[in-house]
Amino acid sequence: LQSVYGTPGSDGTLENALNNFTTALQSLSNNPSDSSAQSVALSAAQTLAGQLNSTTQGVQSLRSNVEQDIGNSATQANTDMSQIAAINTQLQSLSSTDPLAATLMDQRDNAINDLSKLVDIKVNTDSSNQANIFTTSGVQLVGAGLASSFTYTSPGSLTATDLYSTNASQNGVGTLNLKLPNGAAIDVVANNLLASGKIAADLKLRDQTLPQAQTQLDQMAATLSSSLSDVTTAGTAVTTPAAGFSVGTANVLPGNTINLTYTDSAGTQHQVSIVNVTAANTLPLQNAANANPLLVGANFSSASPTLAQQLNTALGPSGLNFTLNGSGSSQTLSITASGSTVNAVSSTTTSQTTASGIPQVALFTDAGSLYTGAYTASGSEMTGLAGRIAVNPSIISNPSILSNYQTSTAAGDNTRSNFMFSQLTTASFNYSPSTGLGSAAQPFNSTLSNYLQSFISQQGNASTLATQLQQGQSVVVSTLQQKMNSTSAVNIDTEMANLIQVQNTYAANAHLMSVVQSMMQTLLQAQV
């Protein structure tokens, strides 16, 4: 994973691509009418998008390799378990002093040793010399002549949207089951059957470590896109039927939000993001405990129940009241309170045109379409965005849009380029706790460049800790292996010394017998 990210500060890295882009924007701000500066900024934007694409490919390649490795390990584990069970059967008919029994036990020990690298096991040998093997969670893998077996089905190469789910219809990765001798099957992943070993490590990489790395990239792509295209409009104060605010809903696209801050009767302040969600199967939106802001999904285009009815059902118990006024492009949502106080209301929408008289522009898109952070039937639009992010085709064909934010932008007007440069260098944003930074109650908040440095540093620290852990465990394993060998393996030096001692004893005995024979012959001759 570190090799995918590259050495910080060097060419071909995300950090370098982002720095080059912001530098190009700064140059463009100094001379916004210069077509050369516009082209350089466009090229830097394309390079940054391409670097996010290639980094995503690198992460997903690692996941695909792990996916294949799980299948190979499952096959090897089955071979080991079958061999151990077969040897158990052979040993039943042999005496413990039979030379063949020793050979078979050595073969069984080798198979057990190999299996222990793949899954965490406990081994019990009974009075009949049968090795019974269990996982540390208590599931029997091998008994007297019987062996369990892993079954693994994989979709092949994985993409960023191929994620593990306990729901079989939504699961996008390989499934690993353990088939017991009695025919029962156990879902290894869903039941946390394995605690350590190569298979457990690969499952953690595939379903947790690498998906989190992908989420970090996707969050960067989402922030990069939305920071330049999001338009925040403050609500208008109202006094009827109570004090509050009114905000327009016409331009709120799926994924866009209405942002609400209110103080409850106990004096505690709350933040709520009301998200336009048109996919019914994604509602209600899931929130972690103490989520800040609280996400509330509602279908803004629903005729029944209306937006106001949906929100009164969801937030009415908090003392908030929602009312729809007008229709079509003039529709507004009034938010008032009884027992609570509405402190502020605003809407965050996505700029849909390139010359709308505002500096916001959708420079980066989701494979050519506006990125809004929508929730769809297949999940959040942010998932896998780093692999799809691309520069707006309209801007590629007309780089002057990087400066011209209205139909008649005056020469030397750097409003748009200044805005983009400021958003990417000094503006702070909240980042999802799923990135491994911050928490649901206190999201990580920083500039885009600081966020990039933070998650790359986090991965570097994880790599260092993993290396240290591996080194420590290697020492432990080596020590245990030496201890086992000292009691079960043959020591050539010791056996050679024993052999020499036997030879010397035999020679001494032979010499003694020779002396005795000579004495007997002498005595017989004396009698004669």
Tens-place pLDDT, residues 56-97: 999 999 999 999 999 999 999 999 999 999 999 999 888 877
Q: How confident is the model at residue 167 (pLDDT cuts 50, 70, 90)?
A: confident
Average pLDDT over residues 106-122: 94
Q: What is the structure's pLDDT at 18?
A: 96
Average pLDDT over residues 149-169: 93
Provide the angle, in degrees to the nearest 10, between the axes of the packed helices 35-91 and 210-229.
160
pLDDT at residue 192 greater than cutoff 90: yes
Please tell me which residue, 8 or 108, carries the higher pLDDT value.
Answer: 108
- Residues 221 and 224: their CA atoms lie apart, in Å, by 5
How do residues 364-379 score in pLDDT, each as one tens digit?
Answer: 999 999 999 999 888 8
Residues of the chain with pLDDT > 70, as a percent, come to: 99
Long-range contacts at 100-105 (CB < 8 A, ≥ 24 apart): 101/129, 105/129
Q: Is 136 exposed, middle or buried (0-12, 13-18, 19+ CB in 10 A)?
A: middle
How do residues 212-263 score in pLDDT, each as one tens digit?
Answer: 999 999 999 999 999 999 999 999 999 988 899 999 999 999 999 999 999 9
Q: How confident is the model at residue 490 (pLDDT cuts 50, 70, 90)?
A: low
Beta bridge partners of 345: 260
Average pLDDT over residues 466-488: 86
Q: Which of 171, 128, 335, 316 is nearest to 248 (CA)?
A: 335
Beta bridge partners of 150: 178
Please tell me which residue, 158 or 167, carries the higher pLDDT value.
Answer: 158
Q: What is the structure's pLDDT at 169?
A: 85
Q: What is the structure's pLDDT at 294?
A: 93
Residues of the chain with pLDDT > 90, as a percent, come to: 71
The full DSSP string for 387-442 is HHEEE-HHHHH-GGGGT--STTPPTT--HHHHHHHHHHHT--EEE-GGGTSB-SSS
Q: Which of 102-106, 237-241, 454-458, 487-491 has the lowest mean pLDDT?
A: 487-491
Q: What is the structure's pLDDT at 60?
A: 97
Q: Quick one: tokens of 319?
A: 């003392």
CB within 8 Å of 195: residues ≥ 6 apart? 120, 135, 136, 137
How do residues 272-317 score in pLDDT, each as one tens digit?
Answer: 999 999 988 888 998 888 888 999 999 999 999 999 999 999 999 9
* CA-based R_g, the chain, Å: 35
Residue 369: DSSP 8-state = B
Q: Quick one: tokens of 477?
A: 């394993």
Average pLDDT, the chain: 92
How do residues 400-412 score in pLDDT, each as one tens digit?
Answer: 999 999 988 888 8
Q: What is the structure's pLDDT at 291?
A: 87
Beta bridge partners of 380: 375
Q: Is the dihedral of CA 274, 276, 280, 282 positive or negative?
A: negative
Whether omega for the bond prior to residue 241 falls within 30 degrees of 0, making it cis, is yes
How do residues 117-154 score in pLDDT, each as one tens digit?
Answer: 999 999 998 888 899 999 999 999 998 789 999 999 99
Contact assessment for residue 391 and residue 61, using Cβ atoms and an 8 Å cutoff? no
pLDDT at residue 489 greater than cutoff 70: no
pLDDT at residue 491 greater than cutoff 70: no
Average pLDDT over residues 182-189: 92
Q: What is the structure's pLDDT at 528?
A: 62
